[in-house]
A and B are shown apart, each in its own frame.
Chain A
Amino acid sequence: MPALDETGEEGFLVGLRRCGCNPQKRDGVIVFSVVPIDGSRAGESIETGVEVEELAAWPSAPPHWVHLPTSMTFDHSNTRPSPIPDWLKHSRSVSNWGNAKEPAQAWIAHVRAVLEEA
């Protein structure tokens, strides 16, 4: 039978924990930390988040917005307010989605790539 057990918000949380993250829920956003490998913030632990509403069809449909503190700035970014005070959500589509054995790891890699532009 199909593997339908790790889906939605719970599936995302389970995947993040398996990848060594310690996700917390804050103002309707799943918040966890990522360490960029490259860029001006390389080696720094940075909080990021995903809105719970965007996890309804995880992992078939990944989130679109990357939530970050306003201290993270980019040369060009399509932004909207985040539910977390002093945070913004940045429009960043993840490309070639849908073939990761561990979808949470693929999401973390996407966020790392975003943070490397900061």
Chain B
Amino acid sequence: MSGRSDRNHNVHHASRYSVVMTGEVDVMLHSQLLRSDGQEDLCLAVYQPSNGAERMTAILADVVSPLEGETEVHGNVSFTGDYVLRAAATAARCGGGVAILHSHPFGSGWQRMSQHDKDAEASFANIVREITGLPLVGLTLAGSSDTWSARFWSRGVGRKVAPEWCESVRVIGDRLAVSWNPDLRPPPSTGANQVRTASCWGSRMQADIARLRILVVGAGTLGMDVAVRLAATGVQTVGVLDFDSAQLINLDRLIGATLLDVLLYRSKLEVTSRLLDQNATALDFRPEFIEGSICEPSQLARALDFDLIFCCVDDHPWPRSVINTIAYTDLIPVIDGGIHIDAFADGGGLRNATWRSHVLRPGRPCMACNGQIDLGKVNVDRAGLLDDESYIANLPHAEQPQGQNVAVLAVGATASLLAQFVSFVAAPAGMGEPGPLRYSLSTHWLEHVEATARENCPVEKSVLAGDRRLLLVGGHVVARQNILRRQQAASHPLIKVARVIDDAFSLLRMFLTRAIAAFQAD
């Protein structure tokens, strides 16, 4: 379902809901809501909306602490209308909405609402929506398990106002901690083909990882490999976004793509789709393939529906700048990295190869601060000039794009990205993601890159902006031309017939697998 804006409110008619906050806000809320005397407590916060194609997310931005007399703790907690109105006015001034948060100090797991909770939130849902144009968001913190639960009061009006439950509440710190709504996102069972994986980090962690919606942007050398390994690990929803074709020049690195794929004008998405089907271990595997560019508004909206993004885009600054920005504005952490081969200009050998990996999130330097994107080249890429041979030919040699890559080393970069992923989601030994890393092949040296956020970085200044983000999006001519060229080439009758035969072989293989599995089960 596509999101649409309501005429009277900025209420996005989403089919899925979520809340996200930084680790810093999470710590602040814990200290506000979990009292030493074990009584419930309450506070309000301002959130910024982030609307994807299907999901609406509330990004908790600022805690509005109660003034003297605005809350009263008596085992339970009560609060005044003035407190709500003050928070709503604050939210309206910055285009945000209001979240009401309370604790169940001895609760464990995802919390439902008592009648008292429902009455309290419902009584303010309409007025808050009238003032801010956004639905009231309710959150409950279960003190015993550190679990959040949340709902949007977006259904109905007046006395018929009702909540839509969120599927998750995400906390983005040095690790990604997600509270899952077991009704909407039940833990998947671990299949016999995942026993070794689950034994690494336990079935609970396996269920947490499996439920993450992970998008891989760029299905090239790194991205295709990353997507396949996520599917093999048991992740239920792996999204892949790309517009490019499998070409002869890719075959020395695109492990899994074949000469037949090139001859049949297969897109990298089609190749990835086949590989994911062959390697996925989740019983309920739901891949999503998005053909296009993340620079296009509709594809960006789909990207905002994911919990985590792998940036496997090549050196093009425009798409990288878009991905870089939403890590901060929309709190969708990005695992980025790549490989640089340093070959002697005369073709006489290999000087060095380095690969880097890093997680982009508030608290860590963005791509620009980490030297992984040149913001000065975003507009020239947007104009399509970095794909324009006549423009490139006029550039000084040092500024011309370099294309060296090699399969035996690219896997090192892939491994580095995936190691960042495991640290970020599973936190081995309690250690979250390590910050930017760089491996140098010539010196065999793995180092922490001492990059920090620059004081005036325009990207990091826009943190938690949500839908107020400033992004350079629009029609991506190069992407559309690429897709059109491939479609035209693949429309030749001979290619069409060959594709049908090739697809039939794939289907036959799938049918054989299922038939023999059923026979052996009997």
Q: Which positions in A face B, CB cutoff 8 Å?
A: 1-4, 7-8, 54, 56-57, 59-65, 78, 91, 93-101, 103
Contacts and interface: CB of A to CB of B under 8 A. Distances in A.
B486 to A, nearest CB: 29
B374 A91 contact: no
Nearest to A8: B470
Contacts of B376: 62, 64, 93-97
A57 B380 contact: no
B383 interface: yes
B470 A4 contact: yes
Nearest to B317: A61
Interface string B390-412: 01001100010000000000000
A99 B456 contact: yes
A85 B495 CA distance: 49
Interface of B: 61-62, 94, 321, 325, 368-369, 374-380, 382-383, 385, 391, 394-395, 399, 454-459, 461-465, 468, 470-472, 474
Given A60-B470, A78-B391, A100-B456, A2 B375 contact: no
21 contacts: A1-B61, A1-B62, A1-B94, A2-B461, A2-B464, A3-B461, A7-B470, A8-B470, A57-B378, A60-B321, A60-B458, A60-B462, A60-B472, A62-B375, A65-B379, A93-B376, A94-B376, A98-B457, A99-B456, A99-B457, A101-B456
B369 A98 contact: yes
Nearest to A3: B461
Contacts of A101: 455-456
Contact of A98 (B62, B375, B385): B375
Contacts of A64: 376-377, 379-380, 383
Contacts of A95: 374, 376
- Sorted nearest first, the 10 A-B pairs with minimum C-beta distance are A61-B378, A57-B472, A99-B454, A64-B380, A94-B376, A64-B379, A93-B376, A97-B375, A78-B394, A60-B458
Contact of B472 (A56, A94, A98, A103): A56
Contacts of B378: 57, 60-61
Nearest to A99: B454
A59 B374 contact: no
A8 to B, nearest CB: 7
B331 to A, nearest CB: 13
B368 A98 contact: yes
Contact of B462 (A4, A94, A99): A4
Contacts of B462: 2, 4, 60
Given A1-B61, A64-B380, A99 B395 contact: no
Nearest to B328: A2
Contacts of A100: 456
A98 B377 contact: no
A63 B391 CA distance: 17
A56 B318 CA distance: 13
A38 to B, nearest CB: 21
A8 B458 CA distance: 12
Contacts of A61: 321, 375, 378-379, 382, 472
Contacts of A7: 470
A83 to B, nearest CB: 14
A103 B391 contact: no
B261 to A, nearest CB: 35
Nearest to A103: B458
Contacts of B468: 2, 4
A4 B368 contact: no
A63 B465 CA distance: 23
B455 A99 contact: yes
Nearest to A1: B94
A54 B399 CA distance: 21
